Amino acid sequence: MDAMIDGAAAHEAFVRANSALRPVPHVPEIRLYLADDAVSLWEQTEQELGRTDQPPPFWAFAWPGGQALARYILDHPELVSGRTILDVGSGSGLTAIAAAMAGASAVLASELDPFAIAAIRLNACANGVTVAATADVLDGTGEDADVVLAADVCYETSMAGRVLGLLERARARGADVLVGDPGRAFLPRHRLRELDAFDVPVLADLENAPVKRVMILTLA
């Protein structure tokens, strides 16, 4: 137990040392620990853990899908207020935090990266909300959540397929599903229906553009 606590503290210290608490451009009500340079930070996380298969530092950036979905949730709090929420591939915890701020009764964020788990804890605390964290849930039915959120998670074929499977199983048992995506290559667009769209400011170095058009979707 002490080793787990020490590891968590080390991950939180790493997040603090390599990012800064800043407002999110499209959701200024929320502040996150954000970084500027993805490549160097990725190299540092690999060195920190002594491994070369560490996932990219998704936790360190406010990705457009997350920004748009967080904005949509805060603008429509009735979608989550008093309900239980699962945020899949939570990254920084941005959409999970938005759901908590909008009155969700409980919020669970799913992430594999220990640095992301640390960032979610720190970001939730910085915004005065409670967000629990868990590991991979993509083979389940959505942890009995009333609403399942998925923002910017369709960046590879296998991930997109697993997410779609989870969303379909969650809806089959009665959950609502909300997706935020800027049209990633592996988005299963034929299975989704657009609810809204936002122009979201992003880091041009990551997205090759200063602004991305982001869709809010649900299962068709």
Q: What is the pLDDT of residue 1?
A: 45
| pTM for the predicted model, two decimal places | 0.92
In a 13 Å sphere around the CA of 160, the CA atoms on its Cβ side amount to 17
Contacts of residue 205, defined as CB under 8 A and 6 or more positions apart, other chains included, come to: 38
Q: What is the pLDDT of residue 53?
A: 64
Give me the residues of the chain with pLDDT under 50, please.
Answer: 1-4
C-alpha to C-alpha distance for 214 and 69, rounded to whole angstroms: 9
Task: Kindly state the helix (H) or strand (E) to which residue 101 belongs, with its residue range.
Answer: helix 94-101
Q: What is the pLDDT of residue 51?
A: 58
Q: What is the pLDDT of residue 126?
A: 98
Among 115, 120, 135, 191, smallest CA distance to 160 is for 191
Q: What is the pLDDT of residues 75-115, one digit of tens each?
A: 999 999 999 999 999 999 999 999 999 999 999 999 988 99
Q: What is the pLDDT of residue 179?
A: 98
Q: What is the pLDDT of residues 47-69, one digit of tens each?
A: 765 655 667 788 999 999 999 99
Residue 63 belongs to domain spanning:
2-219
Long-range contacts of 47-55 (CB under 8 A, 24+ apart): 48/14, 49/114, 54/113, 55/112, 55/113
Q: Is the dihedral of CA 79, 173, 87, 129 positive or negative?
A: positive
Q: What is the pLDDT of residue 40?
A: 76
> 33 forms bridges with which residues in the sheet?
21
Q: What is the pLDDT of residue 54?
A: 65
CATH number of the domain encompassing residue 152: 3.40.50.150
Number of domains forming the structure of the chain = 1
